Structure 1
Amino acid sequence: MAENLASIASDGGRTAVPRAAGEGSGRVVDHPAWTVLKRAVEELRPAQAKDGSVDFSADGAPTRAEAAALTGRIVAALDELSPLLPHDAAYHRALAADLRRWAGDGFGVPDFLDSLLAFHPAADRTDGRQHLVVFPMYTQNGNPDRNLEALVLRVVWPGWLAELERTRYDNPLFLGITFEDFTAGYDTNSAVLFPETIAVREAPERFTWGGIFCDREAARFRRVAGAARDVTGLRLPEEAEGLLTDQQRCQETFVLWDMVHDRTHSHGDLPFDPFMIKQRQPFWMYGLEELRCDLTAFHEADRLAAEGRPQGRDVQYAVILDRIFRFPVTGARVRNYDGLGGQLLFAYLHRHDALRWTDNRLSIDWDRAREVTARLREEIETLYRLGIDRPKLVHWLKAYELVSTYLAPHPGSTWAKGPDALDLTLPPRKLVDAVLPDEFPLSLFYEALAKKLRGVVESTRGITAQAQEAQAA
């Protein structure tokens, strides 16, 4: 449960966390006003268009007066709930003003910049602290429309994690969080709360926070990795089995993994802007970047394990198992860069005899897997370092060469034929059009695994820690 978040002991011991000091008494989701607020948001959401405006001409849409009444109920409920969250008082005042202005302007494209600028959950990360969040937004890997969403969350910031962030992995914007409750946009595969998804009139000069739901990531991992273990006959070490059966321990694992992964995007020998996801590049470039960040977390976890920190070895198990089992078989095959990274890790481990698929049974030599995974990280780091001195297109081609050494490209690929097959008179961004939607199709192994895990993967949509515990029981 979210009320029993991770340890506050710096030695890694696991102790229940009390309510954050300085908060009002009680859980937000237990207050009757939360139910009122959530229902009002859910009634308004279906009337919103893709850009967040309310389409009063649509069938079943409310009248302007009815929409105004719904926002009035949201503001009134917010007024009742805000005393439970004194740390969010300024945000809630700005939020009420943004809601009233949206209604007063006739429910056009929403602009919640003022309330976004007033929300600073990472400024004082307190373990177990609640936040009540309402924004018009799309949810990554969830709802693509900027609909109004409401959610209650708790911060995950145990003492051992705070110490690591302060002394080794500085990441002042990072926010580990868990769900308390949420509206329909989060009844999806979304496991993040990012400020750049919120409807505003202009992007702020800089963002001050970014949240990742470690409880959903942990629950999803436990369900999919557990099913994959059974399907493949993989025998896991006892400590890895323990990770699959302990939600609390698994959440701690993911919050550490995420914190190190997130900061890695702006650390190292980078031949590109760290926010490369905003640039137009072949999707294998995104795949390599996400994998590089995960393998850096893997590398740091090895150091932590050597120091006796229990979360270190857990992160290593999670990175390999989540990457090779869930990532390749999740989502569509159109430019699936996370899937590509998972395929590459599996193939690299297999090619270097750290992983074997023999007699319809999977086996992993974990000591060798740690060595081989470190080697893959070194190959990607070398690619990046040399890329600093290369033109963009050459860097892309060298990256393609690395990936295609281990993954077979589609037989119809233009890129696989090399630079002579590409129209080099075009700027690099135009050559992205020659990339196939599924440039590196699934292997025979993954085609079979995807069929066997399809139902399990689909069952993780909207998953919560409570739902996973209920299934396990």
Structure 2
Amino acid sequence: MTEILAQGAASTGIASAARVIEHQAWPVLKRAVEEIRPWQSKDGSIDFDAEGAPSRAVAEEAVGRVITAVAELSPLLPHDAAYHAALVADLRKWTDGAFGVPDFLDSLLAFRPAADRADGRQHLAVFPMYTQNGNPDRNLEAVVLRMVWPEWLAELERTRYDNPLFCGITFEDFTSGYDTNSAVFFPETISVREAPERFSWGGIFCDREAARFRRVTDAAVRTLGVRLPDDIRELVDDQDRCQQAFVLWDMVHDRTHSHGDLPFDPFMIKQRQPFWMYGLEELRCDLTAFREAVRLEADGVAQGRDVQYAVLFDRMFRFPVTGERVRNYDGLGGQLLFAYLHRHDVVRWTDNTLHIDWERAPQVTNQLCTEIEDLYRAGIDRPKLVHWFAAYDLVSAYLAPHPGSRWAKGPDALDLTQPPRKLVDDVLPDEFPLSMFYEALAKKLKGVIASTKGITAASTGRAAA
């Protein structure tokens, strides 16, 4: 794995433990899961009357191979013994239940990677799940991962950024649901009979985030003629260093969802809101991470400066031109950041070259963070619909709405006798279209963006340890 993992695990012997994916049972497990996945319906069940479905006996035999492989691999991972026992029980329960909608709540509750975040520790997880920004169906998936928890990060979590559920992780290997753009491993994606009262972990793959950041940033910098400071050029060239930046960024971002003056559930679970509200929330968390990174740099934390440029470049170069334009709230946040910096003369597109005022970038980026925080604080005293309009005003002050937008025409253009959630139907799928700058950039980076599907550290030419 990375130097971070090797250094952090040297004293514990964790890195020297046998790699799960090198055991003969791992490819057996992986093949069995890949055999089962195409048989499953969207909800994870298997309809044996469907065209191309196997016999029940064939499905039982395939699940049996998964169970046998898990039993062979589990001794390599004694910290996961209780989870693997529950996993085998859930697999058998699914088989005995004629492969109906899978319920893996018992094994989900037994899987607790955040309970002991030892740097370099491996985990083997098998769940019926969808993968965010990947596969929308609850297919069976298998993933082997390693924890990224170096001492410097653990110290920051203990002293400044308490986040006991956060897991920085890297890929060892995975089944098809992760051969996608998904870079998260979240418990809420798993098929269960009922959601638990609270989740006990959440993982983000910093190796995938770092690898695609490097590839897209390098292409964007060359395309736009950006002149990078030497240390930032070195960052883009260094996978290990980028992973350190992303795991810190992710830890601070994740905790920010539950910190601050919040006028509504920050995760907006099961809420229907205009997509610019989601965009502002994600941007708020990223800009909070940026602001903290400025403070960390001033305090001598080496990763602080790297996080600042990871946030700026990923948000400005990758987010706006990645994914479909339908309710692309992350893309919207990236557009807003670029437009704000452009309006305040931090970035300039002149002579087909993007110029960046490196000295003013931190100050002005923090200024946008303050504007969003002021919006949130004022929102505590506003009705929901008034808050949505105030947020729209903030975004539309820097991004031009679609000419056909009803929301852009103001409250008089909407039927305000409808409840707020119904007015969301009046939001256009692409309420804030790409600017001419981003339309051109999207065409130039299209192939590079597509090439990052399924990317890992190994895809960048680095050999895993």
What residue is the counterpart of 1:323 in the other structure? 315
TM-superposition CA deviations, 1:264-308 (whole Å, max 9, x none): 000000000122143100000000000000000000000100011
Measured in 2, the distance between the counterparts of 1:313 and 1:193 equals 27
Q: Is the 8 A contact 2:14 2:120 kept in 1?
A: no
2:328 maps to which of 332, 336, 353: 336
Shift of residue 469 of structure 1? 2.3
Q: Distance in 1 between matches of 2:172 and 2:15?
A: 16
Aligned to 2:419: 427
Which AA in structure 1 matches 2:232? A
For residues 407-430 of structure 1, what are the alpha-carbon distances to aligned partners after superposition, in whole Å with 9 as ceiling and x for unaligned?
000000000001111111011111
Equivalent residue number for residue 252 of structure 1: 244
> Equivalent residue for 1:213?
205
Matches within 5 A, 1:28-427: 28-427=20-419
Distance 2:11 2:113 in 1: 16
1:441 equivalent in structure 2: 433
Secondary structure of residue in 2 paired with 1:298: helix
1:139 and 1:190 in contact (8 A); partners too? yes
Match of 2:370, SS state, is: helix
- Tell me which amino acid in the other structure corresponds to 1:306: A
Unmatched segments (≥5 aa) in structure 1 = 8-14
**d(CA) in 1 for partners of 2:258, 2:23:** 41
Post-superposition CA distance 1:401-457 (Å, at most 9, x none): 000000000000000001111111011111000000000000000000000000000
Whether contact under 8 Å (2:146, 2:169) holds in the other structure is: yes
Q: Which moved more, 1:151-160 or 1:233-242?
A: 233-242
Does residue 18 of structure 1 match 2:10? yes
Q: Which amino acid aligns with 1:230?
A: R
Contact map agreement 1:170 1:263 (CA 8 A) in 2: yes
Q: Which amino acid aligns with 2:222?
A: D
How many angstroms apart in 2 are the aligned matches of 1:164 and 1:262?
Answer: 14
Q: Tell me, what secondary structure is at the counterpart of 2:133?
A: coil
SS of the aligned residue for 2:149 comes to coil
Q: Which residue matches 1:11?
A: none
Matches of 2:371 and 2:112, distance apart in 1: 38
CA drift of 1:24 comes to 8.9
1:446 corresponds to which letter in structure 2?
Y
Summarize the Cα distance change of 1:136–1:71 in structure 2 as closer, same or farther, 3 Å threshold: same
The aligned residue for residue 451 of structure 1 is: 443
Deviations 1:325-354 (A, max 9, x none): 000000000000000000000000000000
The one of 436, 458, 463 equivalent to 1:466 is 458
Query: Equivalent residue of 1:58, what SS?
Result: coil
Identity %: 75
Task: Evaluate the alpha carbon distance shift between residue 351 and residue 22 of structure 1 in structure 2; reply closer, same or farther with a 3 A threshold.
Answer: closer
Kindly provide the amino acid, as one letter, of the partner of residue 65 in structure 1: A
What is the TM-score with the length of structure 1 in the denominator?
Answer: 0.96
Contact 1:78 1:92 in 2 (8 A): yes
Q: Which runs of 5+ in 2 are unaligned?
A: none
The DSSP-based 3-state class of the residue aligned with 1:176 is strand
Secondary structure of 2:172's aligned partner: strand
CA RMSD of aligned residues (A): 1.4
Question: Given the superposition, is the C-alpha separation of residues 58 and 18 from structure 1 closer, same or farther in structure 2, using an over 3 Å criterion?
Answer: farther
Q: What amino acid sits opposite 1:5 in the alignment?
A: I
**What is the alpha-carbon distance in structure 1 between the residues aligned to residue 107 and residue 416 of structure 2?**
47
Separation in structure 2 between the aligned mates of residue 368 and residue 105 of structure 1, nearest angstrom: 62
Deviations 1:212-260 (A, max 9, x none): 0000000000000110000000011111111111000000000000000
* Alignment partners' CA distance in 2, 1:47 and 1:24: 38
Q: Judge which range, 431-440 or 58-67, deviates more.
A: 58-67
Amino acid at match of 2:170: T
Instruction: Number of aligned residue pairs: give it.
Output: 463
Distance verdict in 2 for CA 1:226–1:193, change over 3 Å: same
Deviation at 1:22, TM superposition (A): 6.8
* Deviation of the 1:5 alpha carbon: 3.1
What is the alpha-carbon distance in structure 2 between the residues aligned to residue 16 and residue 87 of structure 1?
Answer: 18
Instruction: Give the TM-score taking structure 2 as reference length.
Output: 0.98
